[in-house]
Amino acid sequence: MTYGVIDVGSNTIRLCIYDVEDGRIIPLFSTKNTAGLIDYVNDGELSKKGIRKACAVLEGYKETGKKVGIDHLFVFATASLRNISNSREAVKKIQDTTGLTIDVLSGEEEARLDFQGASFEKKMELGIMVDIGGGSTEIVSFEGGNIKDAVSLEIGSLYMYKNYVSGLFPDKGERKAIQRAVRLELKEADFLKGQSYEKMIGIGGTIRGVKKLGEYRFETEKEQAIRRNDLSKLIDECKDEERQLLKRILRVSPDRIHTLIPGMLILDVICRHFGCDEIEVSGFGVREGYLHKKVVRNG
């Protein structure tokens, strides 16, 4: 059967279409809209304009699903609708307008589904998994293919841009402020204290964007990993090669022109915190984990 999954994120709203055969999830098609819902949040509330934006994108995706002939369409939201004070009202309005049912995931649910999705593609023996989204970052420690602990932190790439950056790119002081904020969040997360891991599994659009930027900058073949040394070099180049950096990001990930550097800073601090030298990048994550939960696990 063919399924559609809509992921309503703080930065992007994405539609992915899959076939599911004998418990296997097969990606067929993916599209995204950089809706930037977090930009419509004022004093903790998603504005009416933001709600209309979400409705317009979802109605477009609903029509796409009909044209493609999918058997069922699932919709879930992460920090975009989870971390707002008018969550219940916003979700009801969007559901009433679009006729779609929206499943708002808790931070821990999101982290666990991230892990489930990544485990289809990577061996989860010992390490941590990180997903840097627009409004939050999920971190899971794992061992022997099982989750040890999971946490969701309010340190997303677009969240950091909105709260700490005044221009297109963060200046020196803003970069330091972002790094301090990430270190503070990590320090306050109880289960993360005193742990170190060589292996990190990275998922999500921010980390994939960092990988593409590294491949382009260092003229390497397409790899499945990001070396921390290369990540540090990219961040160092933010200081005095802004024009070159702008060209590179426009080439590899133009829709993340303002969020990729905050995302890189978040990733670098997390790597240093846990002592990770390399980040293996997975193409699967929360959407595949969610589909597995709804279709495969539940029959």
Over residues 160-184, the pLDDT tens digits come to 999 999 999 999 999 999 999 999 9
Co-location of 35 and 76 in the same domain? yes
Over residues 242-265, the pLDDT tens digits come to 788 888 999 999 999 999 999 999
pLDDT at 119 over 70: yes
pLDDT at 90 over 70: yes
Co-location of 96 and 135 in the same domain? no
Query: According to the model, what pLDDT value does residue 299 have?
Result: 58
Query: According to the model, what pLDDT value does residue 240 have?
Result: 67
Q: Which helix (H) or strand (E) holds 87?
A: helix 87-98
Based on the number of CB atoms within 10 Å of its own CB, is 243 exposed (0-12), middle (13-18) or buried (19 or more)? Answer: exposed
We report the CATH number of the domain holding residue 129 as: 3.30.420.150
Over residues 8-43, the pLDDT tens digits come to 999 999 999 999 998 899 999 999 999 999 999 999
Distances 260 to 18, 160, 257 between C-alpha atoms, Å = 28, 11, 6
pLDDT at 66 over 70: yes
Percent with pLDDT over 90 in the chain: 83
Query: According to the model, what pLDDT value does residue 239 have?
Result: 73
Co-location of 126 and 213 in the same domain? yes
Residue 296 lies in a domain: no
Over residues 128-164, the pLDDT tens digits come to 999 999 999 999 999 999 999 999 999 999 999 999 9
Residue 78 lies in a domain: yes
pLDDT at 121 over 70: yes
Q: What is the DSSP letter of 255?
A: G
Over range 274-295, report the average pLDDT.
Answer: 95
Co-location of 43 and 149 in the same domain? no
**In the listed set 104, 132, 156, which residue is the last one of a domain according to the structure?**
104
Co-location of 170 and 202 in the same domain? yes
Distances 20 to 32, 79, 102, 193 between C-alpha atoms, Å = 21, 27, 21, 39
Co-location of 267 and 128 in the same domain? yes
Co-location of 172 and 272 in the same domain? yes
Percent with pLDDT over 70 in the chain: 98
Co-location of 119 and 56 in the same domain? no
Give the three-state DSSP class for 3.
strand
Structure tokens at 191: 């289960």
Residue 231 lies in a domain: yes
Domain, as residue range, for 58: 2-104
Query: According to the model, what pLDDT value does residue 164 have?
Result: 97
Over residues 208-243, the pLDDT tens digits come to 999 999 998 888 776 778 999 999 999 988 876 778
Query: According to the model, what pLDDT value does residue 146 have?
Result: 95
Residue 290 lies in a domain: no
Residue 116 lies in a domain: yes
pLDDT at 64 over 70: yes
Co-location of 134 and 196 in the same domain? yes
Query: According to the model, what pLDDT value does residue 296 have?
Result: 79
Query: According to the model, what pLDDT value does residue 245 have?
Result: 83
Co-location of 25 and 123 in the same domain? no
Per DSSP, which regions of the chain are E strands?
A: 2-8, 13-21, 24-33, 41-42, 45-46, 72-77, 102-104, 126-132, 137-143, 146-153, 199-203, 225-227, 278-281
Co-location of 58 and 174 in the same domain? no
Residue with token string 């969240």: 159
Residue 286 lies in a domain: no
Residue 176 lies in a domain: yes
Structure tokens at 103: 């499943």
Structural domains counted in the chain:
2
Co-location of 200 and 141 in the same domain? yes
Distances 210 to 26, 69, 254, 261, 264 between C-alpha atoms, Å = 25, 34, 12, 9, 7
